[in-house]
């Protein structure tokens, strides 16, 4: 079972994730937010494919304003940001 699947079974994790996706959805266009497991798969590793970890959520901002909104939301919800 993958880390993401284990985490999705955890009610607290699901609640935190849903709160983050909802907050991001209020600030960004829906197409900028990837939260379905199949959409997250391409982002589970960078150039070093030996270590894979499915992200909590992926956000694809298009403007500086969107980046600012994302960072404020993540700070408020105590969510780490990986770029």
Q: How far, in Å, CA of 47 to CA of 51, rounded?
A: 10
CA 40 to chain centre: 8
Residue 81: inside a domain: no
Please tell me the predicted confidence (pLDDT) of residue 7.
Answer: 55
Taking all residues of the chain, what is their mean pLDDT, rounded to a whole number? Answer: 86
Over pLDDT 90: what percentage of the chain?
54
Residue 83: inside a domain: no
Q: What is the DSSP letter of 59?
A: E
Q: Which of 78, 61, 57, 58 is nearest to 27 (CA)?
A: 61
Q: pTM (2 decimals)? A: 0.78
Residue 8: inside a domain: yes
Q: How far, in Å, CA of 47 to CA of 79, rounded?
A: 24
Of 10-19, 20-29, 38-47, 49-58, which range is least confident?
10-19
Backbone angles phi, psi at 78, to 5 degrees: 55, 45
Residue 33: inside a domain: yes
Here the CATH number for the domain that contains residue 68 is: 3.30.43.10
């Amino acid at each position: 079972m993958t880390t993401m699947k284990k985490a999705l079974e955890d009610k607290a994790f699901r609640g935190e994730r849903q709160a983050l996706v909802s907050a991001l959805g209020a600030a960004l266009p829906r197409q900028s937010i990837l939260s379905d497991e199949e959409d997250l798969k391409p982002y589970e590793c960078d150039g070093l494919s030996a270590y894979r970890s499915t992200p909590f959520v992926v956000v694809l901002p298009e403007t500086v304003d969107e980046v600012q909104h994302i960072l404020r939301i993540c700070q408020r919800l105590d969510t780490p940001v990986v770029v």
